[in-house]
Amino acid sequence: MKKCALACLALVLLVVGAVLWYLARPYYRDALCRRHLEEICKASGMYAGDFDEVYPDSLRRLVDYGIDPALLTCPAADIPPGALWDIDRWSGYTLVTGISTKSHPSGVFVYCPPENHGGRCGHVAFVDAHVETLTPDAFEALLAERGIATGPEEPPPAP
Ligand SMILES: [Zn+2]
C-alpha cells in the first residue's frame, strides 16, 4: 500500500513538472531572446570600436566579426541557423542601419518582432545596449514613432 502511494505521488509530481515546464517554456525563450539581443549589442559595440565607431550594417558582418551565428536566431522562432548568405531570412532579428556610437542612446538598434513570440511580445535592443520587452501594440508604436517600417514592403504605385 505504501509503495503504491509513493508511486502515485511520483507520477503526480512528474505530471506537474511536465505541465510547469510546458507553461514556462515561452517565458524561457523570451529570456533567451533578450540575452541574444544583449550579446548582439555587446558584439556590435566591440565592432564599432574596431570600425570607426560605426555599428555593423548587417547581421552577416557580425558573423564575419566572430559572433556565434546561433546568437543571431530568435529561440522562439524555431528556425535553425542556415546559410550565411540567407541570414536575414532565418535570423528572426532585424538590424537598424546607420547606427554609430554617436547615435542617441535610446535609438533602436535591433529588434525581434512579436510574430516570433506567438504574438505575445516583441523585444527591442537600444543603442545603449539595454533590451526591453514590449506588448505588440507598444512594439509597433515605438517602431512607428522611430520611423522604422516592420511590415512587408508596399508594392510600387501603378503607373
Ligand atoms: Zn525573439
Whether 104 is covered by a domain: the verdict is yes
Whether 1 is covered by a domain: the verdict is no
- The residue segments making up the domain with residue 102 are 29-145
Where does the pLDDT of residue 44 fall: very low under 50, low under 70, confident under 90, or very high at 90 and above? very high
Please give the distance, rounded to the nearest whole angstrom, from the Cα atom of residue 78 to the centre of ligand 1: 10
CA 120 to each of CA 67, 115, 135, 155: distance values in angstroms, whole numbers, following the listed order = 28, 8, 7, 29
Please give the distance, rounded to the nearest whole angstrom, from the Cα atom of residue 3 to the centre of ligand 1: 46
Looking at residue 107, what is its pLDDT?
93
Whether 23 is covered by a domain: the verdict is no
Please give the distance, rounded to the nearest whole angstrom, from the Cα atom of residue 113 to the centre of ligand 1: 7
Whether 119 is covered by a domain: the verdict is yes
Looking at residue 104, what is its pLDDT?
93
Q: Tell me the average pLDDT of the chain.
A: 87
Whether 19 is covered by a domain: the verdict is no
Please give the distance, rounded to the nearest whole angstrom, from the Cα atom of residue 122 to the centre of ligand 1: 7
Mean pLDDT for 38-61 is: 94
Encode pLDDT of 57-78 as tens digits.
Answer: 999 999 999 998 889 999 998 7
Whether 15 is covered by a domain: the verdict is no
Whether 117 is covered by a domain: the verdict is yes
Whether 105 is covered by a domain: the verdict is yes
Looking at residue 40, what is its pLDDT?
95
Sign of CA dihedral 77, 83, 88, 93: positive
In one-letter notation, the amino acid at residue 19 is: V
Instruction: Give me the number of domains the chain comprises.
Output: 1
Where does the pLDDT of residue 131 fall: very low under 50, low under 70, confident under 90, or very high at 90 and above? very high
* C-alpha cell of residue 67: 559572433
Please give the distance, rounded to the nearest whole angstrom, from the Cα atom of residue 120 to the centre of ligand 1: 11
Where does the pLDDT of residue 103 fall: very low under 50, low under 70, confident under 90, or very high at 90 and above? very high
Q: How far apart are CA 100 and CA 92, in angstroms?
A: 22
Please give the distance, rounded to the nearest whole angstrom, from the Cα atom of residue 36 to the centre of ligand 1: 8
